[in-house]
Amino acid sequence: MLISINPYNNRIIKEYAEFSDDEVDIIISQTQKAFQTWRKTGIKHRKSLMRSVAGVLEDNKEELAVLITKEMGKLIQSSRAEIEKCAWVCKYYAENTERFLKNEIVSTDAGKSYVTFNPLGVILTIMPWNFPFWQVFRFAAPGLMAGNACVLKHSANVSGCALAIEDLFIKAGFPENLFRTLLIGKDNVGRILENTDIKAVTLTGSTPAGKAVASAAGSEIKKTVLELGGNDPYIILDDADLEETVEACLISKMINAGQSCIAVKRFIVTPTIRERFEAAFVGKMEKMRMGDPFDPEVQLGPLARSDLRDELHEKVKKSIALGAVCLTGGYIPESEGVFYPPTVLTNVIKGMPAYEEELFGPVAAIIPVQNEQEAITVANDSDFGLGAAIFSRNLQKAELIAANEIEAGNCFINTYVKSDPRLPFGGIKKSGFGRELSSYGIKEFVNIKTVYIK
C-alpha cells in the first residue's frame, strides 16, 4: 500500500493499492500507442492543449493547493504559488516550442544539410514530494510539447497529487494514456526500465536514488537526466548589503520549510560582516511563526515526513557534538505534527554533517572564513554542485566569481537561487547531469538528427 499522511496532524489521508506488474505493463503499452499518434500531431494542436492545461490549473488552483498542503505540509500560500508557476511553464512552452525545435540549417558541402529534433517516445518520470506539481510540470510541459509521452512514478506520500496531475491533462483535452501515473514503489523502477517501450528516464531526488536509476538506465543504454541533491553555498562578503543579504538568505533557507534542493545550506561568511550577519539572521529566524500551514499568518509549516525530520535532527546533533554552536533551535518540539524549529548552527567546519551533507529542512550552517579566496575554496569544497549565490556591492567582482570560479549549475548574485522556465536548470558533480527548462531542457529528450542531402 502507498499511504498519504498529513504531516500537520499525522493522520492518514488515504491509502492506495499498488499497481501489479501486469497493470504497469498494460499502462506502458497504452502510453506507447498514444505516443505513436501524438508524435504526428501538429505543433499548433499541441500548443492549444498546453494552453488549455494552463487554464485548468488556474481554474482549479485552490483545490489543487489544498491537496498539496494536506499531503506534504507546504504553506497554503506557497502551494498556490506552485500551481501558478506550473501554469506559467505550460504557457512558456506553448509559446516557444516551435522556435526551440525549428530545423537548424547548417552550411556544409551538401546540397542541403540541417538538424531536426524528433521525440524519443515514452519517458519514465520519477519525481519527489517537495514540489509535487512543479517538479512534474517542468518536465511534462516541454516533454509533451516535444512530442513525447510520459509515465509518472511519484513519491508515495503525494499519490493524490500524482493522480490529480493525470486528471488535469485529461480535463485539458490531451489524448487518453499520453500521460499516466503509476502507483508503484521504488523497487519496481528497475523492472520498468527494462521495458523496451520506455525510451528514457528523468529523475529528481536524492543522490542515492540517482545512482540506482542511472545504473539501471545505463545497463539498458537509455538516456537519463538527473536533478539530485545540493549543498548550496551562499558567499557573504564583507561589502555585502546586510539588510538585502539577510532577507534573501531567509527566503532561501525557509521556503518550503527548507525542503528544497536549491535552498541555501551553507552560509560562508567573511570576518567583518560575520557578527552582524549572525545577529540579524538569528533574529529573523527566531521570529518565524511555526504552525498550521493553512493559517496565513504562519511562516513555517511541518516537514513532510517524520523520518526526514528525525534524519535532519541527527545531523544537527552530530554537528553540535563535533563542535558546532547552536545559536537557536536544534530540538524536536513536543507537538502532534512533524515540526522542526528554525535552527542556526555556527562555527561549522569540515567533517561535520552540517558542512558535508545536505540539510533538508529549516537548518542554517554558518561557516566562518578569513577572506574571499577561502570563501570560494569552501564553496567548491563539496561533492554537490547545484546552486550558489554571492552577496557583494562590487558587482563586477561578484560576476567574475560567479561566472568563472564557482562549481555549480546555477549561480546568482545578491538574490536567492530559483528556477525559471526561461533559464536552464540543473547541476554538476553529485547534483546530477542534464538540464531542465529553457531551450536546453526541451532538447534533452529529443533525437538531435542530422539530415544530409547531396
Are β-strands 428-429 and 266-269 bridged in parallel, bridged antiparallel, or unpaired?
A: unpaired
Q: Where are the alpha helices (DSSP H) in 39-158?
A: 43-59, 61-72, 76-100, 134-145
Q: Which of 227, 357, 358, 444 is catalytic?
A: 227
Q: CA dist 299 to 261, 262, 364, 395, 419, Å?
A: 19, 19, 16, 32, 21
SS3 percent helix, strand, coil of the chain, rounded to 5, is 45, 20, 35
CB 328 within 8 A of CB 335: no
DSSP string of 306-353, one letter each residue = HHHHHHHHHHHHHHHHTT-EEEE--S--SSSS-----EEEES--TTSH
Q: How many residues does the chain have?
A: 454
Instruction: Please give the helix or strand (H or E) that residue 13 lies within, else none.
Output: strand 11-16
Residue written as grid cell 564583507: 238
Instruction: Please give the helix or strand (H or E) that residue 280 lies within, else none.
Output: helix 271-286
Residue written as grid cell 488556474: 58
Q: Is 227 a catalytic residue?
A: yes
What's the distance, CA 247 to chain centroid? Answer: 22
For residue 325, what are the β-bridge partners?
346
What gap in Å lies between CA 230 and CA 207, rounded to an integer? 9
Find the radius of gyration of the CA atoms of the chain.
23
Q: Which of 261, 356, 358, 436 is catalytic?
A: 261
Q: Is 326 a catalytic residue?
A: no
For residue 114, what are the β-bridge partners?
105, 451
- Amino acid identity at 319: S
Residues with a known catalytic role: 227, 261
